[in-house]
Structure 1
């Protein structure tokens, strides 16, 4: 019953017109008045922001803020894989031979997430990680490894919530939401970075140019809170140890290691 009501509410509100209105307001000068209260409600660390609070011209500018250059340290160990975002590590586990993952008790198809069986095949038996960004987080996305971009593509049209309620009651949010996907080749295999759009705002803006990325280099940004899913090939990645979930983590902090 609860799941049905939740899904009905989302279907009725998550329409193109609502996304358009929200996006227009967030970019308007009028939205600037909400920035101080937003910063207070979400306990934004203003000391690490690139600019002062009153220098942001709209909520959109504030959502997509950059940080001071020394605000995040990138783990320098060559084989270390770092978090691409400030987030909560919600889940980690094996990718089944059937190309499925189990997140919060729900089954997701990697083939559907990536748009086909061929794309999913190389990740069977590998590892997935789900990193959730709330509205309070820094919204820019960085590369978890150094490597060469082999492919980038976009799937989906609408987005449903990707918070805990969305993962629990939503319908295939990680596999069906609007998402942009970057596949990279690193020295020991491949990794996929799936950037999943949030409810109402299907905005994931790429900022990187070229076909190579250094670990910690900026790739893109979310307009609002959302989720990043990392997929690793079999026998190419190991975590730092037994992680207690959910785990708050900062961009640049170590998630685990590549296996040579």
Structure 2
């Protein structure tokens, strides 16, 4: 019962007013009273936290917590592609020649997701990777491959569930929710896009990087609430690591493929 209640604090709500109330509560000092219970219910590893649990002044502060410096090891192989988040690698597959991919019985159009035909066609016959973050996960987002930011834009103005049920029953939430997108050019000249998908009507995606040069493993932003990251790679850019299965748990810095 507690888990269901707590999940409502950080999962999607299709009602803007409800989302506002939830956001207000989680940022309040009163919400600190449930931090200990929240950590217990979601089995969050306190040893990894940057600060002791009692130093977090609200549920929101706990949710967007940083980790200790060496809590995540970034794979240092020059050509490796690493997970940008702690989460569940929910799906991976090929993008069609029509710039679409199929997830949970729904067709997703890159034109709709990226908002531009030229951007969409860049990833024709490429690879997509979907990573879902539950309330239990660390919610900072990191760079999967070093490169230079060549585009950044936002699309959409509402957010609906992107959890398992939301992907099945929602109307293409990955390409219709509020999303913040970075397109990054790698050292080999190829591009990938990192699509951060909002998971509440508060559209809680916060960039943290400065400048255009990004190093693999560097933090680039965080989610205030549970959400999803979609990675898009150009054709013949990525070779998925043999150890990867779907679905599987991943952590920031874990190798998921190679350039």
Q: What TM-score, normalized to structure 1?
A: 0.92
* Partner residue in 2 for 1:78: 78
1:176 aligns with 2:176: yes
* Partner residue in 1 for 2:163: 163
How far did residue 242 of structure 1 move?
6.0
Partners in 2 of 1:34 and 1:149 — Cα distance?
A: 39
Superimposed CA distance per residue, residues 100-138 of structure 1 (whole angstroms, 9 cap, x where no aligned partner) = 011122211111010121110100010000000000000
Tell me if structure 2 keeps the 8 A contact 1:110–1:120.
Answer: yes
* Partner residue in 1 for 2:9: none
* Partner residue in 2 for 1:7: none
Partners in 2 of 1:248 and 1:176 — Cα distance?
A: 26
Partners in 2 of 1:103 and 1:217 — Cα distance?
A: 29
Alignment of 1:71-110 (within 5 A): 71-110=71-110
Mean CA deviation greater in 121-130 or 201-210: 201-210
Superimposed CA distance per residue, residues 183-215 of structure 1 (whole angstroms, 9 cap, x where no aligned partner) = 000012101000001134411001101011000
Partners in 1 of 2:135 and 2:153 — Cα distance?
A: 25
Superimposed CA distance per residue, residues 68-107 of structure 1 (whole angstroms, 9 cap, x where no aligned partner) = 0010000000100000000100000001111101112221
Partners in 1 of 2:122 and 2:99 — Cα distance?
A: 9
How far did residue 243 of structure 1 move?
2.7
How far did residue 245 of structure 1 move?
1.1
How far did residue 225 of structure 1 move?
0.9
Partners in 2 of 1:114 and 1:150 — Cα distance?
A: 14
Partners in 1 of 2:31 and 2:115 — Cα distance?
A: 36
RMSD: 1.0
* Partner residue in 2 for 1:197: 198
Partners in 2 of 1:92 and 1:245 — Cα distance?
A: 7
Tell me if structure 2 keeps the 8 A contact 1:22–1:200.
Answer: no
SS of 2:166's equivalent in the other structure is: helix
Runs of 4+ in 1 over 6 A off after TM superposition: none
Tell me if structure 1 keeps the 8 A contact 2:160–2:166.
Answer: yes
* Partner residue in 1 for 2:236: 235
Superimposed CA distance per residue, residues 24-68 of structure 1 (whole angstroms, 9 cap, x where no aligned partner) = 111110111111111111100111010111100011101100000
Alignment of 1:95-174 (within 5 A): 95-174=95-174
* Partner residue in 2 for 1:26: 26
SS of 1:108's equivalent in the other structure is: strand
Partners in 2 of 1:232 and 1:242 — Cα distance?
A: 19
Alignment of 1:58-69 (within 5 A): 58-69=58-69
Tell me if structure 1 keeps the 8 A contact 2:81–2:255.
Answer: yes
SS of 1:216's equivalent in the other structure is: coil
Q: What TM-score, normalized to structure 2?
A: 0.93
Partners in 2 of 1:29 and 1:59 — Cα distance?
A: 8
Partners in 2 of 1:65 and 1:242 — Cα distance?
A: 29
Q: Which consecutive residues of structure 1, in runs of 5 or more, have no partner in the other structure?
A: 1-12
Partners in 2 of 1:83 and 1:252 — Cα distance?
A: 5
Q: Which consecutive residues of structure 2, in runs of 5 or more, have no partner in the other structure?
A: 1-12
SS of 1:119's equivalent in the other structure is: helix
